[in-house]
Amino acid sequence: MTYASALPGQPRGGSIGGPATDRSFCVLAPNASPMTLDGTNTWIVAEPDSDLAVVIDPGPLDDAHLKDVIATAERAGRRVALTLLTHGHPDHAEGAARFAELTRTSVRALDPALRLGDEGLGLRDVITTGGLELRVVPTPGHTADSLSFHLPADGAVLTGDTVLGRGTTVVAHPDGRLGDYLDSLRRLRSLTVDDGVDTVLPGHGPVLNDARGVVEYYLAHRANRLAQVETAVEDGHRTPSEVVARVYADVDRSLWPAAELSVRAQLDYLREHGLI
């Protein structure tokens, strides 16, 4: 989910949806909104010579979309063998149980409440379905259960809502925490520096080709917003709604409720660090 409209970082041109890397294909869900951008990106990931596929974030409970994802995999000669979730927000996970029913797959997630089957997901887990290598990267902050998936063979990372293809994400207070989110961004930056990740496959918006530039922009953006919130408080704006009106004055008012979630997370962070 996002409340900003533009993001530097070399977004890939063309329409959203379709092939993104040698091992990833996006099926765009029909749930566009100011908060979901063009819709949720449902990712089909598979080795090029494999007849098995992994689906990440089936998206909303929309039978036509879920069946389209299955049909897309089948047209490529693949069967969906596993479903993964980046986090539990409905635009990513609401359709997971129905999708699992249609595909007869398990659903793996960090949150036990979202799992269907015996296996969850956690740090250092590696998905190897059909010879694919997907490494689980815990990236809490947007939500406590947020995960990213590193696809080393393509130099890519699937980021859910932690990094978006356009705009910046909400730290969804109280579940989301700013300190966790900053740590997660640093973890993603390490992937770009140490592990050759150059492509972001986001949960919303276009594919981004400059992963390091995007993550560094996110870190700078957060630092700038945090300084603005601190200044607003020093100037007498005490409540979250007052801070939003001051700091996010240039943002569409329809997105102020989402911005207020991030402001609450920022205020908590500043208090925890003795800065206000």
DSSP string computed for the chain:
-BS-----S-BPPS-SSEEEETTEEEEE-S--BTTTBT--EEEEE--TT-SEEEEE---SS-HHHHHHHHHHHHHTT-EEEEEE-S---HHHHTTHHHHHHHHT--EE-SSGGG-BSS----TT-EE-GGG--EEEEE-TTSSTT-EEEEEGGGTEEEEETSS-SSS-B---TTTS-HHHHHHHHHHHHHHHHHS---EEEESSS--BS-HHHHHHHHHHHHHHHHHHHHHHHHTT--SHHHHHHHHTTTS-GGGHHHHHHHHHHHHHHHHHTT--
Residue 254 placed within a domain = no
**242 is a domain residue:** no
Domain assignment present for residue 257? The answer is: no
Residue 268 lies in a domain: no
Tokens (6 digits) for 156: 């890519």
In a domain, 226, yes or no: no
**Angle in degrees, CA 221, 214, 15, rounded to 5:** 120
Which letter, b or e, does each residue of 199-213 get, where b requires 16 or more Cβ atoms within 10 Å of its Cβ? Answer: bbbbbbbbbbebbbb
pLDDT for 94 equals 98
Contact 86, 148 (CB under 8 A): yes
CA 89, CA 212: separation in Å to the nearest integer?
26
| Residue 42 located in a structural domain | yes
Burial of residue 82, with CB atoms counted within 10 A of its CB: 0-12 exposed, 13-18 middle, 19 or more buried: buried
- Quick one: pLDDT at residue 5? 46
- Residue-level pLDDT at 14: 58
* Tens-digit pLDDT profile for residues 51-66: 999 999 999 999 999 9
- Which pLDDT value is given to residue 15? 66
Domain at 113, CATH number = 3.60.15.10
In a domain, 274, yes or no: no
**pLDDT < 70 regions, the chain:** 1-15
Picking from 93, 118, 89, 105, the residue whose alpha carbon sits closest to that of residue 53 is 105
How many domains does the structure of the chain reveal? 1
Res 193: pLDDT: 97
Is residue 87 in a domain?
A: yes
Q: Tell me the residue range of the domain where 121 lies.
A: 18-212
Q: What is the pLDDT of residue 11?
A: 58
Cα(244)–Cα(247) distance, integer angstroms: 5
